[in-house]
Amino acid sequence: MGTVQYKIIGDENLMEIIKGLPERVAKGPVQKTFRKGAIPYIARVRGNIPSSLNDLKKAVIAKNMKGAAIKVGPYARKLKVKISGVQSDVDAYYPLYWHNYGTYGERDPEHQFKTPRKSKTAKREGGTRPLNFIERAWESTKYQVQQIVDRDMQKNIDDFLKRKANRRA
């Protein structure tokens, strides 16, 4: 899917204040807004997961990053599942990834994979067909997410600055 970047356009004085704050301080209201905006997207991704993978819905989450950003999607180390033919439990991230982007000869031709197929499996046909449920969820909710972020960003930053000003007063 790629990274979605968001730029705040608004009151110049407010923007100057935010730019003057250390990132570790300013990230709180930004992450709060992004997490609220991500709620409909997470719900849609979970709703688009194939019924055979319903148990894996808990692996789709929003995660705070170090900077003023969040990541949303299936995450490793969130949930383990048993797959037939595999001795040990597998992280839920992998079956979700395989069903979203496909495997072997069925890999999604429109997705830019970081690593090409290995020579050992390059000639294998078949595999899991890509369902692109993550991309479809984003396409159907991106305007709703943007509206929530647009609506709440200014309010959350104002509230944050008021709290900081009250503590210092």
Is 133 a domain residue?
A: yes
Is 2 a domain residue?
A: no
* Count of domains forming the chain: 1
Place of tokens 């290995």: 118
The whole domain housing 98 covers: 12-168
Summarize pLDDT for 33-43 with one digit per residue, the tens: 899 999 999 99
Is 43 a domain residue?
A: yes
Is 37 a domain residue?
A: yes
Is 7 a domain residue?
A: no
Is 93 a domain residue?
A: yes
Q: What are the backbone dihedrals phi and psi of residue 73, each rounded to the nearest 5 degrees, phi first?
A: 150, -170
Q: Which residues contact 55 (CB under 8 A, 6 or more apart)?
A: 79, 81
Summarize pLDDT for 101-158 with one digit per residue, the tens: 998 888 888 888 888 888 888 888 888 899 999 999 999 999 999 999 888 887 887 7
- Give the model's confidence band at 77: pLDDT under 50 very low, under 70 low, under 90 confident, else very high: confident
- Give the model's confidence band at 169: pLDDT under 50 very low, under 70 low, under 90 confident, else very high: low
Q: Which residues contact 115 (CB under 8 A, 6 or more apart)?
A: none
Give CA separation, 150 vs 31, 86, 157, in Å.
Answer: 13, 46, 12
- Give the model's confidence band at 16: pLDDT under 50 very low, under 70 low, under 90 confident, else very high: low
Is 22 a domain residue?
A: yes
pTM (predicted TM-score): 0.77
Is 3 a domain residue?
A: no
